[in-house]
Amino acid sequence: MELLFLGTNAGVPTLQRNVTSVALRLFEERRSFWLFDCGEATQHQILRSSLKLSKLEKIFITHLHGDHLFGLPGLLASRNNQGGTSPLTVYGPRGIKEFLDTTMRLSQSRVDYVLEVVEHDGGIIFEDKGFIVESQLLEHRIDSYGYRVTEKDRIGSLNLPLLESHGIRPGPMYGKLKSGESIELENGTIIRPEDVLGQPKKGRIITILGDTRPCPAVVTLAKGADMLVHEATFLHEMVETAYEYYHSTATQAANAAQDAQAKRLVLTHFSSRYKDLEQLGQLLDEAKEIFPNTMLAEEFHILPIERIQ
């Protein structure tokens, strides 16, 4: 499980950075990746990365401002032309379906794969045996949502030497033990799952927020997260501007991470006024004064999401 940032700028692209999009690479867990937001030219950024549109499984849109959305129709059409045949689901606020229906119809874009568009008002929007995705409304000029992705706990590894000592070879009995069933050997010995399974592997939590002012939903979504991706549009010296435009400062992002007891904070969605690493470093320094385990999102940098106990 890894994050790959495809765009880290706010509002408009610059020569240094594209507008917002981040991929959650789930190649080990699902042989696919998920996309959070899809600003203009996201498909170009994907071409410059190791990602393949044919492996894209889900897209989560935080809100309907153009810097988070305008790349979506083109990306969906290109996926059709690049071997994408598996179903794809787009989740987003109310209005996302009308936007896609209209742009795809008027541009006569052809999509041969199954495309499902799910509008939501928050809550649990997806769950299967491996993951839960929850969403809550944030505080922005239009409806903007944050997403909390929770990987479900996985069973521990089998103690292979112990199983071999009982004469148990790989096969159906392994499957029964992993599914929680006890097994009986020919000599009458009962082997229980808890006898041969290690400690469960704790699932990881990733919180990816849309644009927002500080609000209670930020802390709720980020509670105990292994990684929190939070906008830091401005330095705190511009806190009044941030409030006026419904954004957050680096200080406010750090406060949220601290209040939520998150384990790592990644800053993104930088104002185009911060053009170079030295200026971005001021945002980082400001946040690290409050929350030391903070880093800046860098485009095309792969960020592993580690199991931090």
Ligand-binding site membership of 67 (annotated): yes
> Do the Cβ atoms of 206 and 226 come closer than 8 Å?
yes
67 annotated active-site? yes
> Do the Cβ atoms of 293 and 267 come closer than 8 Å?
no
Using left for φ > 0, alpha for ψ between -120 and 50, and beta otherwise, residue 190 falls in: beta
> Do the Cβ atoms of 232 and 248 come closer than 8 Å?
yes
Buried b / exposed e over 118-128, threshold 16 CB at 10 Å, is eebebeebbee
Contacts of 193 (CB under 8 A, 6+ apart): 177, 178, 180, 181, 182
> Do the Cβ atoms of 153 and 202 come closer than 8 Å?
yes
In single-letter form, the type of residue at position 118 comes to V
Residue 168 CA to its chain's centroid (Å):
40
DSSP-derived 3-state class of residue 55: helix
Ligand-binding site membership of 63 (annotated): yes
Ligand-binding site membership of 65 (annotated): yes
Ligand-binding site membership of 211 (annotated): yes
Sheet of 88-92: strands edge to edge?
Answer: 115-119, 88-92, 56-60, 32-36, 21-26, 2-7, 302-304
Q: Which of 37, 67, 101, 143 is catalytic?
A: 67
Enzyme catalytic residues: 67
